[in-house]
Homo-oligomer: A and B are copies of this chain.
Amino acid sequence: MSERIPVVEKILSANDRLAGENRARIDAAGVFSINVMASPGAGKTSLIERTVRALCPKYRIGMINGDILTSLDAERAAAAGAVAIQINTGGDCHLDAVMLQPALDQIGLENLDLLIVENVGNLICPAEFRLGTHKNVIVASIPEGDDKPHKYPAMYRGADVLILNKIDLLPYVTFRMDFFSQGVAALNPGLTQFDLSCRTGEGLDAWYGWLEARLSGEKVPDA
């Protein structure tokens, strides 16, 4: 174990440097960017699909999707109106800054207002790798259970926005909102949170409003 930690630190620091380069490119193009992370099935793709449909064509949106295999998610975003690029990690459990570079080359940043990166479905490893995007958005969902912030702290600690999805399922599962919120507050006090349902549409307007405030160049407090 003693040999292991220095190696991990070296990888992370190289990643941070490349994330800084990505950020400089995104900033130079005047694009606002988010990194959407969640466990498998929390609803990342549904959220992105809804968001693209609501904000296109008023804003030009690009979507970079990271998945082990398939381009199912990128196809859904493209059908909704985004310029979509698929990165297949071939087994890797997260995106990192270097994987993003060829996608940034291809996506045409200069023609975009908003860049949405959909990370690999995983509540652990993506939290360790900065990509260079402006904000980390994590998507939790009601049927996942109320104990997730307690059990996956790094992801919640590093989030700028928390989406709590599938609130339409609250009547059908046991979910103690207090227990969930206590976990979140202990890790990330004051975290901006949107409770919504991508299925019914409830609560989505507040999320769109948050994004639009940033896209319109409004002076907004750091979320």
Residues of A at the B interface (CB closer than 8 Å) are 39-41, 67-70, 72, 91, 93, 120-125, 141, 143-145, 147-148, 150-154, 166, 168-169, 172-174, 199
Give 6 closest A-B pairs by Cβ, nearest first.
A41-B144, A143-B143, A93-B124, A39-B40, A41-B145, A40-B123
Bound state CA distance, A69 and B148, in angstroms?
11
CB of B40 within 8 A of CB of A72, answer no
What residues of chain B lie closer than 8 Å to A148, measured between beta carbons?
40-41
Known interface pairs A150-B69, A152-B68; A143-B169 also in contact (CB < 8 Å): yes
Chain A binding site: helix, strand, loop or mixed by DSSP? Answer: loop
CB of A68 within 8 A of CB of B143, answer no
CB of B72 within 8 A of CB of A151, answer yes
What residues of chain B lie closer than 8 Å to A153, measured between beta carbons?
68-69
Measured CB to CB, the nearest residue on chain B to A120 is: B124
**Closest Cβ of chain B: how far from A48's Cβ, in Å?**
14
What residues of chain B lie closer than 8 Å to A166, measured between beta carbons?
143
